[in-house]
Structure 1
Amino acid sequence: MSFTISELVSFEEEVKKSRFQAFAIPVETEQQIKECLEQFKDVSTTHQCWAWKLGHQVRFNDDGEPSGTAGRPILATIEGNQLTNVLVLVNRWFGGIKLGTGGLVRAYGGCAGKCLTLAEKIELIEKHKIRLNCHFNEWSILQYEFKKQHIDFVEHYLPEGVMVEASVLVSQIEPLSIKLQDLTRGREKLKRLESEHDE
């Protein structure tokens, strides 16, 4: 079971005259992460360290702090909270007192952790992308089914019929597949694309 956070949260504290400011941001794509890092760029900081997790993918950055003292502890707090689809950014303004490697790990990990405790955790329900084709006269029946089950879909009208892409819960795949085969008398099959949130 994976969780993400419902909305952006921030937390700020001072550690031995250095100011630390953390932002935790829910994200869904690497492009969105790049945009967030650009948006939160602050040239006044001494360091802007971050970590993110999207499904099985993780990245972190120490931004000039000694290796392993910033990005990795931030990532550890994300994973310790069983979170995914989250970017945590921690800014530091150096206050003149060196913290040492242990102090940096505690400061970055601690600030990120306190920030994440302020966030509302929501369960991430895994969805799969599917694609199907049908004739024009069949689409109205399928469309009714999609709407009844609150399935998000995009339809593409082609000369020979309709191609539909949708995001569905795992439990919806088999019933939809059977419905499509019945409707098209076995002519069409449901195709599964990549899952949106890898567990």
Structure 2
Amino acid sequence: MPFTIARPVSFEEDIKKSRFLAIAAPVENEQAVKDFLAEHKDFSTTHQCWAWKIGHNVRFNDDGEPSGTAGRPILATIEGNALTNVLVLVNRWYGGVKLGTGGLVRAYGGTAGQCLMLAEKIELIEKKRVSFQCQFNEWAIFQYELSLHQIEFSEEYTAAGVAVHALLQVHQIQPLALKLQDVTRGREQLKIIEEPEDD
């Protein structure tokens, strides 16, 4: 059963005069990773090292630290906690004392690990993107239904009615498909949008 974290958490510690600040956040896709890193860009830091895992995809960055001493240990803590859809960013402000490669591995991995220990772990529920069409007079019913179940959606008004895109938990797909058939008297079908596999 895959797990992710419920909400962003942070942990800070000083190691031999260097200040380390780890921030862990749940992420759904690579765009969310880019947005998070852009939002947390901090020019006062000496290094901003990070790692993320989404499904089978992983990436990490040493940001100028010796290769393998920062990003990889951060990734190892994510995988060691059996987490996915998680990004951990560790900021370092250099304090004048060199830590050596072993010290860096321990500092980055340790700070990331402490941060993840503070996080509330939740079961990752698989979601799928779906789309459907409905007429203007039917839209209020679906709008209510989607809001009631706290489903993320976007609607687009067309000449023919309303085109809807939504992100559903897997167990919500069948009930919505039945509701759609019921309200539209079988005229419309719920379409599942297959996500392209990126390796």
Superposition TM-score, scaled by structure 2 size: 0.80
Q: 1:152 to 1:97 in 2, by over 3 A?
A: closer
Q: Indicate whether 1:27 and 2:53 are aligned.
A: no
Name the SS for the 2:125 alignment partner. coil
Q: 1:47 corresponds to which residue? A: 47
Q: 2:70 corresponds to which residue? A: 70
Q: Indicate whether 1:16 and 2:16 are aligned.
A: yes
Q: Distance in 2 between matches of 1:67 and 1:113?
A: 20
Q: 1:114 corresponds to which residue? A: 114
Deviation at 1:73, TM superposition (A): 0.6
What amino acid sits opposite 1:133 in the alignment?
Answer: Q
Q: Distance in 1 between matches of 2:144 and 2:42?
A: 49
Q: Which has the larger radius of gyration?
A: 1
Q: Distance in 2 between matches of 1:7 and 1:148?
A: 22
Q: 1:155 to 1:110 in 2, by over 3 A?
A: same
Greater Cα shift, 121-130 or 29-38 = 29-38
Q: 1:12 to 1:138 in 2, by over 3 A?
A: closer
Deviations 1:10-59 (A, max 9, x none): 22223333332222233334334333323333333332211122333321
Deviation at 1:100, TM superposition (A): 2.8
Q: 1:87 to 1:141 in 2, by over 3 A?
A: closer
Q: Tell me how many residue pairs correspond in the alignment.
A: 195
CA root-mean-square deviation: 2.6
Superposition TM-score, scaled by structure 1 size: 0.80
Deviation at 1:69, TM superposition (A): 1.1
Q: Indicate whether 1:172 and 2:172 are aligned.
A: yes
Q: 1:86 to 1:178 in 2, by over 3 A?
A: same
Greater Cα shift, 134-143 or 107-116 = 134-143
Deviations 1:47-80 (A, max 9, x none): 2211122333321111111211110110111122
Q: Distance in 2 between matches of 1:89 and 1:152?
A: 27
Deviation at 1:185, TM superposition (A): 4.6
Q: 1:188 corresponds to which residue? A: 188
Name the SS for the 1:130 alignment partner. strand
Q: Distance in 2 between matches of 1:157 and 1:18?
A: 54
Q: 1:7 to 1:135 in 2, by over 3 A?
A: closer
Deviation at 1:85, TM superposition (A): 2.9
Q: Indicate whether 1:161 and 2:161 are aligned.
A: yes
Gaps of 5+ in 1: none
Name the SS for the 2:38 alignment partner. helix
What amino acid sits opposite 2:102 in the alignment?
Answer: G
Deviation at 1:164, TM superposition (A): 1.9
Deviations 1:70-117 (A, max 9, x none): 101101111222223322121223344433322221111011101111
Deviation at 1:182, TM superposition (A): 4.5
Q: 2:134 corresponds to which residue? A: 134
Name the SS for the 2:68 alignment partner. coil
Q: 1:89 corresponds to which residue? A: 89
Q: 2:123 corresponds to which residue? A: 123
Q: 1:98 corresponds to which residue? A: 98
Q: Distance in 2 between matches of 1:142 and 1:23?
A: 38
